[in-house]
């Protein structure tokens, strides 16, 4: 099969990647399904239909997305601990016993000598790239660097590809052992041991066709979203290569419309790298013109910043974000999405997704968005736990049972200064036998904010209650929930990590209305309960799944790409592979 070279790759992606590639299989029609992910797409459905029309069977070469990578210059160079070899006989096999067994059962090559062999090798190379960038074990990037350095059409490198395949299988086996929170955080996968468990019958039945299917199962569904992730991963790796050096835009005075500043040309360059739609008449102009401000506002929106067209410290953070670290962020979130599928409760059509670093809640029905809401999540020292559960009840006019951590760290210091704070905030105190304790009987100056607190504290429903008018209960070991709030002013902030772990919902009233409606309760019923001012647990007829997820990059419904800060520092730059 003839290979389309770099020029076609550039025309499809509108970017330059140093790779010799072929986008289409022998029986496929040319179709430009790749769109610049940072632009708004009006033809998403058409793109999806183009993907669904492909023949993905192992007997035909999957055209779109599989041949994008035949020689990629990442990692830039091998580490000192793992020098590259130039001859196949010098390669040190990592899994010698398994390799010997594979040769016994399959004397013919698994990686060369049949029509789909090149496609299978390309797929393996893709998986090494994605898992390495996502923060996987260093050995994965070492295999990728070695494959990038060789003539991969030479069948003498069979052992290298088999080793890399077995290593990928070992990594995926370990990923399947992660629980939900670990699958979202992905904060220790670099240390994952590449120990593989394979039985002899599996080896005996392994075939060339099975090889591709195994890789496909590791990869997940090849849909339009994955293709967009791959496009952006390659884009930012290429930008990293194109930059002669990483020059940060220096901090300094705010830059706004008509400001004249020596940093403006570099700002313009970064905006052009971020979105090919950003075309500027004069890149070197030192004045902040209207076109640059418009592009900057789009950039700020896609990073969760206030779209004011002013360059300040938060905007500089993202303008200076290393391109290779964008690729790593994208790969990490692509892996999160793949792992999330294991935990989706498919039997339920409605669900709630709370994306913690985006400070956003989305209510979905049959994968269609019903509404979104801003949320407030836990600060870094009291992080919102990542979990999956089901909302079983809406509590109207809830009591707030104050967690002991908040009592010790927040409330007791205030009570030492002003004992009347208990009554002002309408708190009630109980001993552990359930007997009410008048607050005036307690000498708060003698109560320590460390160790056991001898009382339970709760806040009565009504004005000033920290949970507001609604609490959305779901079972979990952390005693967290979604709820209304008596401090709505915090929703006006761009960064909203203020709580002690629970999730405050700006559209709590509409969420309550939606949940109660599907349970058969009217709006009038809800309003009557609120007017009474008494706590009322209203059970739902059908529980609604709720997922507290952690995506620092994602594509919206129109294909626009968004980035957010890693507010809990799960994937600090230091933990990534060396740039």
Calculate the alpha carbon distances from 86 to 117, 146, 150, 568 in Å. Answer: 22, 9, 7, 42
Q: Which residues pair with 388 in a beta bridge?
A: 547
Q: How far apart are CA 386 and CA 273, in angstroms?
A: 33
* CA 523, chain centre distance (Å): 36
Residues 179 and 187: their CA atoms lie apart, in Å, by: 13
CA distances from 248 to 38, 261, 284 (A): 22, 15, 17
205 is catalytic: no
Q: Extract the tokens encoding 248.
A: 């940060």
The burial of 119, by beta-carbon neighbours within 10 Å (0-12 exposed, 13-18 middle, 19 or more buried), is given as buried
Residues 6 or more apart from 531 whose CB is under 8 A from it?
none
Annotated catalytic residue, options 41, 303, 473, 483: 483
| Residue 431 Cα to chain centre, angstroms | 44
Q: Output DSSP code: residue 365.
A: E
Helical packing angle, 117-133 and 323-340, nearest 10°: 100
Adjacent-strand bridge partners of 395? 471, 537
Options 12, 303, 473, 502, the catalytic residue: 502
Please indicate whether residue 502 is annotated as part of the active site: yes
Distance CA 418, CA 429 (A): 16
Backbone angles phi, psi at 97, to 5 degrees: -65, -45
Distance, in Å, from the CA atom of 392 to the CA atom of 395, rounded to the nearest integer, reads 10
In whole angstroms, what is the distance from residue 102 CA to residue 97 CA? 9
Question: Cα 105 from chain centroid?
Answer: 40
Length of the chain: 579
What is the set of active-site residues? 483, 502
């Amino acid at each position: 099969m003839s290979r389309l070279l770099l020029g076609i790759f550039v025309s499809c992606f509108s970017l330059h990647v140093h790779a010799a590639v072929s986008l289409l299989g022998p029986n496929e029609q040319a179709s430009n399904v790749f769109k610049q992910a940072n632009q708004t797409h009006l033809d998403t459905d058409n793109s999806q239909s183009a993907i669904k029309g492909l023949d993905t069977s192992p007997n035909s070469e999957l055209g779109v997305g599989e041949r994008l990578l035949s020689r990629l210059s990442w990692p830039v160079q091998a580490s000192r601990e793992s020098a590259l070899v130039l001859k196949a006989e010098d390669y040190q096999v990592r899994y010698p016993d398994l390799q010997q067994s594979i040769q016994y059962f399959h004397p013919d090559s698994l990686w060369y000598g049949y029509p789909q062999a090149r496609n299978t090798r390309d797929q393996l190379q893709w998986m090494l790239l994605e898992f390495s960038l996502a923060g996987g074990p260093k050995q994965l990037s070492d295999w990728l660097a070695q494959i990038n350095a060789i003539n991969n059409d030479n069948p003498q490198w069979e052992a290298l590809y088999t080793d890399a395949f077995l290593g990928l299988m070992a990594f995926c086996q370990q990923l399947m052992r992660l629980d939900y929170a670990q699958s979202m955080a992905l904060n220790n996968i670099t240390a994952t041991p590449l120990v593989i468990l394979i039985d002899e019958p599996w080896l005996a039945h392994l075939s060339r066709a099975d090889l591709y299917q195994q890789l496909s199962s590791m990869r997940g569904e090849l849909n339009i979203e994955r293709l967009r992730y791959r496009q952006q991963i390659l884009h930012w790796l290429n930008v990293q290569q194109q930059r002669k050096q990483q020059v940060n835009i220096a901090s300094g005075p705010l830059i706004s419309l008509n400001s004249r500043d020596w940093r403006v040309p570099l700002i313009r360059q970064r905006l052009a790298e971020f979105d090919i739609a950003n075309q500027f008449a004069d890149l070197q102009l030192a004045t902040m013109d209207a076109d640059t401000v418009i592009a900057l506002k789009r950039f700020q929106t896609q990073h969760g910043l206030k779209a004011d067209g002013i360059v300040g410290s938060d905007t500089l953070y993202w303008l200076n974000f290393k391109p290779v670290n964008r690729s790593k962020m994208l790969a990490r979130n692509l892996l999160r999405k793949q792992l999330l599928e294991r935990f989706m409760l498919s039997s339920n059509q409605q669900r709630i997704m709370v994306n913690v670093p985006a400070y956003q809640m989305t209510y979905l029905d049959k994968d269609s968005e019903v509404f979104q809401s801003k949320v407030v999540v836990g600060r870094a020292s009291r992080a919102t736990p990542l979990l999956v559960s089901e909302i079983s009840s809406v509590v109207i006019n809830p009591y707030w049972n104050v967690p002991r951590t908040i009592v010790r760290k927040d409330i007791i210091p205030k009570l030492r200064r002003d004992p009347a704070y208990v009554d002002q905030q309408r708190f009630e105190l109980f001993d552990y036998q359930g007997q009410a304790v008048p607050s005036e009987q307690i000498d708060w100056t003698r109560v320590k904010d460390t160790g056991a607190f001898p009382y339970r504290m709760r806040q009565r429903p009504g004005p000033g209650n920290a949970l507001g008018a609604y609490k959305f209960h779901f079972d979990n070991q952390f005693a967290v929930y979604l709820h209304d709030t008596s401090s709505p002013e915090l929703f006006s902030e761009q960064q909203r990590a203020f709580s002690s772990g629970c999730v405050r919902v700006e559209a709590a009233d509409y969420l309550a209305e939606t949940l109660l409606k599907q349970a058969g309760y009217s709006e009038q019923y809800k309003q009557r309960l609120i007017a009474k001012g008494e706590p009322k647990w209203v059970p739902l007829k059908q529980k609604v799944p709720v997922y507290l997820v952690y995506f620092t990059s994602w594509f919206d419904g129109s294909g626009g790409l968004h980035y957010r800060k890693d507010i809990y520092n799960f994937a600090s730059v230091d933990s990534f592979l060396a740039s």
